[in-house]
Amino acid sequence: MVVPLAARDVAAGIGALLVLTAAVSVVGTLMVPRPIGSWLTRLVDRVMNGAFRLATGPVADYRRRDRILAAQAAGILLCQLAAWLGISFIGYSLLLWPFVTGVTSAFTDAGSSMFTLGFAEPAGAVPSAIVFAAAATGLGIVTLQIAYLPSLYSAFNRRETDVALLNARAGVPSWGPELLARTHYALGSGVSTIDTLPDLYAQWERWAADIAESHTTYLPLVRFRSPRPLSSWVTALLAVLDSAALILALSPKAAPVVPARLCLRSGFLCFNEVARAMGIDVPATPDKAAGISLGYPEFLDAVARMQKVDFPIERDPADAWPDFVGWRVNYERAAYAVAAAVEAVPALWSGPRRHPTPAIAPIRPPK
Protein backbone atom coordinates (compact mmCIF):
# COMPACT_ATOMS: atom_id res chain seq x y z
CA MET A 1 0.00 0.00 0.00
CA VAL A 2 1.30 3.44 -0.97
CA VAL A 3 0.98 6.02 1.80
CA PRO A 4 0.24 9.55 0.51
CA LEU A 5 3.04 12.07 0.83
CA ALA A 6 0.87 14.32 3.01
CA ALA A 7 0.43 11.51 5.54
CA ARG A 8 4.16 10.88 5.56
CA ASP A 9 4.75 14.60 6.14
CA VAL A 10 2.44 14.47 9.16
CA ALA A 11 4.34 11.41 10.41
CA ALA A 12 7.60 13.34 9.96
CA GLY A 13 6.20 16.14 12.11
CA ILE A 14 5.31 13.61 14.81
CA GLY A 15 8.82 12.19 14.48
CA ALA A 16 10.34 15.63 15.03
CA LEU A 17 8.27 15.99 18.23
CA LEU A 18 9.44 12.58 19.45
CA VAL A 19 13.08 13.47 18.83
CA LEU A 20 12.59 16.79 20.63
CA THR A 21 10.85 15.04 23.54
CA ALA A 22 13.73 12.59 23.96
CA ALA A 23 16.30 15.40 23.74
CA VAL A 24 14.52 17.52 26.36
CA SER A 25 14.23 14.49 28.65
CA VAL A 26 17.92 13.59 28.28
CA VAL A 27 19.11 17.16 28.87
CA GLY A 28 16.76 17.71 31.81
CA THR A 29 17.65 14.41 33.46
CA LEU A 30 21.40 14.19 32.84
CA MET A 31 22.65 17.74 32.40
CA VAL A 32 20.47 20.34 34.15
CA PRO A 33 21.42 20.54 37.87
CA ARG A 34 17.88 20.71 39.20
CA PRO A 35 14.88 18.37 39.34
CA ILE A 36 13.35 18.61 35.85
CA GLY A 37 11.06 15.72 35.12
CA SER A 38 9.51 14.66 31.83
CA TRP A 39 6.58 12.42 30.98
CA LEU A 40 9.03 9.91 29.54
CA THR A 41 11.14 9.46 32.67
CA ARG A 42 8.02 9.51 34.87
CA LEU A 43 6.50 6.78 32.71
CA VAL A 44 9.66 4.67 32.97
CA ASP A 45 9.68 5.15 36.74
CA ARG A 46 6.03 4.12 37.07
CA VAL A 47 6.46 1.07 34.83
CA MET A 48 9.54 -0.15 36.71
CA ASN A 49 7.96 0.49 40.10
CA GLY A 50 4.90 -1.46 39.02
CA ALA A 51 7.04 -4.32 37.72
CA PHE A 52 9.00 -4.61 40.97
CA ARG A 53 5.83 -4.39 43.04
CA LEU A 54 4.48 -7.34 41.10
CA ALA A 55 7.77 -9.20 41.56
CA THR A 56 7.87 -8.61 45.33
CA GLY A 57 4.13 -8.96 45.92
CA PRO A 58 4.19 -12.69 46.80
CA VAL A 59 7.42 -12.37 48.86
CA ALA A 60 6.71 -12.11 52.57
CA ASP A 61 10.29 -12.13 53.90
CA TYR A 62 11.85 -8.65 53.94
CA ARG A 63 15.39 -9.81 53.22
CA ARG A 64 14.27 -11.61 50.07
CA ARG A 65 12.34 -8.53 48.96
CA ASP A 66 15.43 -6.42 49.56
CA ARG A 67 17.51 -8.68 47.32
CA ILE A 68 14.97 -8.28 44.52
CA LEU A 69 14.61 -4.53 45.00
CA ALA A 70 18.39 -4.07 44.89
CA ALA A 71 18.11 -4.32 41.09
CA GLN A 72 15.38 -1.68 40.81
CA ALA A 73 17.63 1.39 40.46
CA ALA A 74 19.76 -0.32 37.80
CA GLY A 75 16.59 -1.38 36.00
CA ILE A 76 15.32 2.22 35.96
CA LEU A 77 18.61 3.47 34.51
CA LEU A 78 18.64 0.82 31.78
CA CYS A 79 14.98 1.41 30.92
CA GLN A 80 15.57 5.18 30.74
CA LEU A 81 18.39 4.58 28.28
CA ALA A 82 16.25 2.19 26.23
CA ALA A 83 13.34 4.65 26.24
CA TRP A 84 15.50 7.56 25.05
CA LEU A 85 17.07 5.48 22.29
CA GLY A 86 13.77 3.91 21.30
CA ILE A 87 11.84 7.20 21.12
CA SER A 88 14.68 8.81 19.18
CA PHE A 89 14.86 5.84 16.81
CA ILE A 90 11.13 6.01 16.07
CA GLY A 91 11.33 9.78 15.67
CA TYR A 92 14.20 9.71 13.18
CA SER A 93 12.54 6.87 11.26
CA LEU A 94 9.40 8.96 10.84
CA LEU A 95 11.51 11.96 9.84
CA LEU A 96 13.13 9.89 7.09
CA TRP A 97 9.90 8.38 5.80
CA PRO A 98 9.01 11.15 3.29
CA PHE A 99 12.46 10.86 1.69
CA VAL A 100 12.75 7.07 1.21
CA THR A 101 10.78 4.45 -0.66
CA GLY A 102 8.96 2.93 2.31
CA VAL A 103 8.63 2.83 6.07
CA THR A 104 10.84 -0.28 6.27
CA SER A 105 13.69 1.58 4.57
CA ALA A 106 13.16 4.53 6.91
CA PHE A 107 13.51 2.33 10.01
CA THR A 108 16.50 0.50 8.51
CA ASP A 109 18.34 3.74 7.67
CA ALA A 110 17.57 5.31 11.06
CA GLY A 111 18.67 2.20 12.95
CA SER A 112 21.86 1.89 10.93
CA SER A 113 22.76 5.48 11.78
CA MET A 114 21.62 5.68 15.43
CA PHE A 115 23.45 2.54 16.45
CA THR A 116 26.49 3.42 14.27
CA LEU A 117 26.23 0.25 12.20
CA GLY A 118 26.65 2.08 8.89
CA PHE A 119 25.23 -0.61 6.59
CA ALA A 120 22.50 1.64 5.12
CA GLU A 121 22.62 5.24 3.94
CA PRO A 122 19.86 7.06 2.03
CA ALA A 123 20.60 9.27 -0.97
CA GLY A 124 20.03 13.03 -0.91
CA ALA A 125 21.12 15.97 1.18
CA VAL A 126 18.17 16.10 3.59
CA PRO A 127 18.15 12.35 4.38
CA SER A 128 21.94 12.48 4.87
CA ALA A 129 21.54 15.33 7.35
CA ILE A 130 18.86 13.38 9.22
CA VAL A 131 20.97 10.22 9.51
CA PHE A 132 23.99 12.25 10.65
CA ALA A 133 21.81 13.81 13.36
CA ALA A 134 20.53 10.34 14.29
CA ALA A 135 24.08 9.03 14.61
CA ALA A 136 25.08 11.99 16.80
CA THR A 137 21.96 11.53 18.94
CA GLY A 138 22.55 7.83 19.56
CA LEU A 139 26.19 8.35 20.42
CA GLY A 140 25.37 11.40 22.57
CA ILE A 141 22.69 9.63 24.62
CA VAL A 142 24.92 6.65 25.39
CA THR A 143 27.90 8.90 26.20
CA LEU A 144 25.88 11.13 28.54
CA GLN A 145 24.40 8.11 30.32
CA ILE A 146 27.88 6.66 30.86
CA ALA A 147 29.16 10.02 32.12
CA TYR A 148 26.10 10.19 34.43
CA LEU A 149 27.04 7.03 36.32
CA PRO A 150 30.13 8.38 38.16
CA SER A 151 28.03 11.26 39.53
CA LEU A 152 25.42 8.80 40.75
CA TYR A 153 27.88 6.47 42.45
CA SER A 154 29.86 9.34 43.94
CA ALA A 155 26.68 10.66 45.59
CA PHE A 156 25.77 7.12 46.63
CA ASN A 157 29.15 6.56 48.27
CA ARG A 158 28.96 9.87 50.16
CA ARG A 159 25.53 8.93 51.41
CA GLU A 160 26.39 5.41 52.49
CA THR A 161 29.61 6.36 54.27
CA ASP A 162 27.70 8.42 56.84
CA VAL A 163 24.92 5.82 57.06
CA ALA A 164 27.49 3.11 57.84
CA LEU A 165 29.13 5.32 60.48
CA LEU A 166 25.76 5.93 62.08
CA ASN A 167 25.01 2.22 62.38
CA ALA A 168 27.48 1.89 65.27
CA ARG A 169 25.65 4.63 67.16
CA ALA A 170 22.01 4.06 66.22
CA GLY A 171 21.96 0.31 65.67
CA VAL A 172 20.90 -1.69 62.64
CA PRO A 173 18.18 -0.87 61.70
CA SER A 174 18.71 2.65 63.02
CA TRP A 175 16.42 3.96 65.74
CA GLY A 176 16.54 7.41 67.38
CA PRO A 177 16.29 6.32 71.05
CA GLU A 178 18.99 3.71 70.40
CA LEU A 179 21.28 6.44 69.10
CA LEU A 180 20.93 8.45 72.31
CA ALA A 181 21.26 5.38 74.54
CA ARG A 182 24.43 4.14 72.83
CA THR A 183 25.94 7.61 72.72
CA HIS A 184 25.53 7.91 76.48
CA TYR A 185 26.57 4.32 77.18
CA ALA A 186 29.69 4.73 75.00
CA LEU A 187 30.33 0.98 74.60
CA GLY A 188 30.30 0.50 78.37
CA SER A 189 33.30 2.77 78.88
CA GLY A 190 31.63 4.56 81.80
CA VAL A 191 32.21 7.94 80.14
CA SER A 192 29.22 9.49 78.39
CA THR A 193 29.85 10.85 74.89
CA ILE A 194 26.78 13.08 74.74
CA ASP A 195 29.20 15.94 74.13
CA THR A 196 29.78 14.50 70.63
CA LEU A 197 26.15 15.10 69.63
CA PRO A 198 26.70 18.71 68.43
CA ASP A 199 29.22 17.49 65.86
CA LEU A 200 26.93 14.62 64.85
CA TYR A 201 23.97 16.92 64.29
CA ALA A 202 26.11 19.39 62.33
CA GLN A 203 27.37 16.52 60.18
CA TRP A 204 23.84 15.29 59.48
CA GLU A 205 22.57 18.80 58.81
CA ARG A 206 25.08 18.97 55.95
CA TRP A 207 24.32 15.36 54.96
CA ALA A 208 20.58 16.08 54.68
CA ALA A 209 21.28 19.15 52.52
CA ASP A 210 23.48 17.03 50.24
CA ILE A 211 20.77 14.36 49.95
CA ALA A 212 18.11 16.96 49.17
CA GLU A 213 20.25 18.35 46.35
CA SER A 214 21.57 15.10 44.86
CA HIS A 215 18.51 12.87 45.23
CA THR A 216 16.11 15.38 43.70
CA THR A 217 18.48 16.15 40.83
CA TYR A 218 19.30 12.47 40.20
CA LEU A 219 16.03 10.83 41.25
CA PRO A 220 17.10 7.18 40.66
CA LEU A 221 19.45 7.63 43.65
CA VAL A 222 16.39 7.45 45.90
CA ARG A 223 16.04 3.76 45.00
CA PHE A 224 19.72 2.83 45.34
CA ARG A 225 19.61 0.52 48.35
CA SER A 226 22.26 0.24 51.04
CA PRO A 227 24.70 -2.70 50.80
CA ARG A 228 23.31 -4.15 54.03
CA PRO A 229 19.66 -5.28 53.94
CA LEU A 230 18.81 -3.80 57.37
CA SER A 231 20.35 -0.43 56.57
CA SER A 232 18.65 2.45 54.76
CA TRP A 233 19.35 6.13 54.21
CA VAL A 234 15.68 6.88 54.98
CA THR A 235 15.63 5.19 58.39
CA ALA A 236 19.10 6.57 59.19
CA LEU A 237 17.98 10.18 58.70
CA LEU A 238 14.73 9.49 60.54
CA ALA A 239 16.70 8.08 63.49
CA VAL A 240 18.90 11.19 63.67
CA LEU A 241 15.86 13.48 63.56
CA ASP A 242 14.06 11.45 66.22
CA SER A 243 17.12 11.57 68.48
CA ALA A 244 17.27 15.35 68.12
CA ALA A 245 13.55 15.69 68.89
CA LEU A 246 13.87 13.36 71.89
CA ILE A 247 16.80 15.11 73.52
CA LEU A 248 15.22 18.53 73.00
CA ALA A 249 11.99 17.31 74.59
CA LEU A 250 13.38 15.15 77.42
CA SER A 251 16.68 16.83 78.30
CA PRO A 252 16.55 20.46 77.16
CA LYS A 253 19.44 21.55 79.41
CA ALA A 254 21.82 18.84 78.15
CA ALA A 255 20.66 19.16 74.54
CA PRO A 256 22.81 20.89 71.92
CA VAL A 257 19.90 23.18 71.11
CA VAL A 258 21.15 25.04 68.04
CA PRO A 259 22.79 22.06 66.22
CA ALA A 260 19.76 19.85 66.99
CA ARG A 261 17.28 22.45 65.72
CA LEU A 262 19.32 23.06 62.55
CA CYS A 263 19.54 19.33 61.92
CA LEU A 264 15.78 18.95 62.36
CA ARG A 265 15.15 21.78 59.92
CA SER A 266 17.54 20.40 57.32
CA GLY A 267 16.10 16.88 57.67
CA PHE A 268 12.52 18.12 57.39
CA LEU A 269 13.38 19.99 54.17
CA CYS A 270 15.22 16.95 52.82
CA PHE A 271 12.31 14.56 53.31
CA ASN A 272 9.81 17.06 51.90
CA GLU A 273 11.87 17.86 48.80
CA VAL A 274 12.60 14.22 48.03
CA ALA A 275 8.94 13.29 48.54
CA ARG A 276 7.76 16.01 46.18
CA ALA A 277 10.38 15.03 43.58
CA MET A 278 8.96 11.49 43.74
CA GLY A 279 5.47 12.81 43.09
CA ILE A 280 4.28 12.28 46.66
CA ASP A 281 1.82 14.90 47.88
CA VAL A 282 3.09 16.35 51.15
CA PRO A 283 2.04 19.72 52.58
CA ALA A 284 4.63 22.48 52.61
CA THR A 285 3.49 23.38 56.13
CA PRO A 286 2.69 20.50 58.50
CA ASP A 287 -0.71 20.33 60.14
CA LYS A 288 0.09 20.69 63.82
CA ALA A 289 -3.47 19.86 64.81
CA ALA A 290 -3.30 16.47 63.08
CA GLY A 291 -0.62 15.23 65.46
CA ILE A 292 1.58 12.22 64.67
CA SER A 293 1.06 8.53 63.99
CA LEU A 294 3.51 7.44 66.68
CA GLY A 295 1.71 6.68 69.93
CA TYR A 296 2.52 7.65 73.49
CA PRO A 297 3.16 4.00 74.55
CA GLU A 298 5.89 3.79 71.89
CA PHE A 299 7.35 7.00 73.26
CA LEU A 300 7.43 5.44 76.73
CA ASP A 301 9.27 2.42 75.26
CA ALA A 302 11.92 4.83 74.02
CA VAL A 303 12.18 6.48 77.43
CA ALA A 304 12.58 3.03 79.05
CA ARG A 305 15.40 2.17 76.64
CA MET A 306 17.19 5.41 77.54
CA GLN A 307 16.61 4.94 81.28
CA LYS A 308 18.15 1.47 81.02
CA VAL A 309 21.55 3.08 80.41
CA ASP A 310 20.90 5.93 82.90
CA PHE A 311 20.51 8.56 80.22
CA PRO A 312 20.14 11.97 81.96
CA ILE A 313 16.41 12.58 81.43
CA GLU A 314 15.39 15.92 82.94
CA ARG A 315 11.63 16.01 82.35
CA ASP A 316 8.72 13.74 83.07
CA PRO A 317 7.74 11.86 79.87
CA ALA A 318 4.17 13.15 80.10
CA ASP A 319 5.45 16.72 80.08
CA ALA A 320 7.96 16.06 77.29
CA TRP A 321 5.49 14.26 75.01
CA PRO A 322 3.74 17.39 73.59
CA ASP A 323 7.11 18.94 72.75
CA PHE A 324 8.27 15.75 71.04
CA VAL A 325 5.03 15.67 69.01
CA GLY A 326 5.61 19.30 68.06
CA TRP A 327 9.01 18.41 66.60
CA ARG A 328 8.06 15.11 64.94
CA VAL A 329 4.95 16.42 63.21
CA ASN A 330 7.23 18.44 60.94
CA TYR A 331 8.85 15.44 59.26
CA GLU A 332 6.89 12.29 60.10
CA ARG A 333 4.45 12.33 57.17
CA ALA A 334 7.08 12.90 54.48
CA ALA A 335 9.49 10.42 56.08
CA TYR A 336 6.83 7.69 56.29
CA ALA A 337 5.79 8.32 52.67
CA VAL A 338 9.35 8.06 51.34
CA ALA A 339 10.06 4.98 53.47
CA ALA A 340 6.95 3.25 52.12
CA ALA A 341 7.68 4.26 48.52
CA VAL A 342 11.22 2.86 48.53
CA GLU A 343 10.36 -0.16 50.72
CA ALA A 344 12.95 0.86 53.30
CA VAL A 345 13.78 -1.58 56.07
CA PRO A 346 10.83 -1.62 58.55
CA ALA A 347 12.74 -0.13 61.45
CA LEU A 348 11.06 0.97 64.66
CA TRP A 349 9.21 4.29 64.30
CA SER A 350 9.51 4.27 60.49
CA GLY A 351 5.83 3.85 59.60
CA PRO A 352 3.82 1.21 57.73
CA ARG A 353 4.86 -0.59 54.55
CA ARG A 354 2.91 -2.02 51.63
CA HIS A 355 3.70 -5.47 53.02
CA PRO A 356 2.51 -5.83 56.64
CA THR A 357 5.97 -6.62 58.00
CA PRO A 358 6.61 -6.40 61.77
CA ALA A 359 8.98 -3.62 62.78
CA ILE A 360 12.57 -4.79 63.27
CA ALA A 361 14.30 -3.62 66.45
CA PRO A 362 17.99 -2.69 66.37
CA ILE A 363 20.30 -5.68 66.64
CA ARG A 364 22.30 -5.35 69.84
CA PRO A 365 25.54 -7.11 70.70
CA PRO A 366 25.29 -9.79 73.40
CA LYS A 367 26.14 -8.67 76.92
222 domain residue, yes or no: yes
Mean pLDDT within 231-237: 97
pLDDT band at 222 (very low <50, low <70, confident <90, very high): very high
| Per-residue pLDDT band at 117 (split at 50, 70, 90) | low
Same domain, 135 and 255: no
Instruction: Check whether residue 190 and residue 66 sit in a common domain.
Output: no
CA gap 16, 40 in Å, rounded: 16
Domain contains 256: yes
User: How many domains would you assign to the chain?
Assistant: 2
Q: Quick: pLDDT tens for 35-45.
A: 777 888 889 99
Domain membership flag for residue 366: no
Tell whether 93 is covered by a domain.
yes
- Arithmetic mean of pLDDT, 266-285: 93
Whether 71 shows a pLDDT value over 80: the answer reads yes
Task: Report the DSSP beta bridge partners of residue 360.
Answer: 347
365 part of a folded domain: no
Q: What is the pLDDT of residues 162-218, one digit of tens each?
A: 999 999 889 999 999 999 999 998 877 778 899 999 999 999 999 999 999 999 999
Please check whether residue 279 is in contact with residue 149, taking contact to mean a CB–CB distance below 8 angstroms: no
Higher confidence at residue 245 or residue 2?
245
- Residues 320, 185, single domain; the answer is yes
- Summarize the confidence of residues 149-174 as an average pLDDT: 94
pLDDT at 120: 62
357 confidence band (pLDDT: 50, 70, 90): confident
What is the model's pLDDT at position 144? 93
pLDDT of 1 over the 60 cut:
no
Note whether 187 and 315 are same-domain residues.
Answer: yes
Q: Mean pLDDT of all residues in the chain? A: 92
- Residue 119's pLDDT is 62
**Residue 141 sits in the same domain as residue 259:** no
Provide the residue range defining the domain that includes 41.
Answer: 5-147
Does 5 have pLDDT greater than 80? Answer: no
**CA–CA separation, 354 vs 346, rounded Å?**
11
pLDDT per position as a tens digit, 281-326 = 998 888 888 899 999 999 999 999 999 999 999 999 999 999 999 9
**Residue 143 shares a structural domain with residue 199:** no
Please count the CA atoms within 13 angstroms of the CA of 290 that sit on its side-chain side.
12
Domain shared by 201 and 92, yes or no = no
Same domain (yes/no): 143, 282: no
Which segments within the chain are labelled E, that is strand?
A: none
How far, CA to CA in Å, does 149 sit from each of 138, 146, 194?
17, 6, 39
CA distance 44 to 67: 21
Say if residue 197 is in the same domain as residue 87: no
- Measured CA to CA, the distance from residue 306 to residue 184 in angstroms comes to 9
Q: Is residue 210 included in any domain, yes or no?
A: yes
DSSP sequence for 73-95 = HHHHHHHHHHHHHHHHHHHHHHH
> What's the longest Cα–Cα distance across the chain?
88
The angle subtended at Cα 143 by Cα 138 and Cα 146, nearest 5°, is 130
3-class state of residue 357 by DSSP: coil
At 319 the pLDDT is 97
Answer with the residue of higher pLDDT: 104 or 158.
Answer: 158
Phi/psi at 347 (5° precision): -75, 165
How confident is the model over 6-12, as a mean pLDDT? 87
Annotate 248-277 with DSSP letters as a single string: HHH-TTTS-HHHHHHHHHHHHHHHHHHHHH
pLDDT at 150 over 70: yes
Residue 25 corresponds to which amino acid?
S
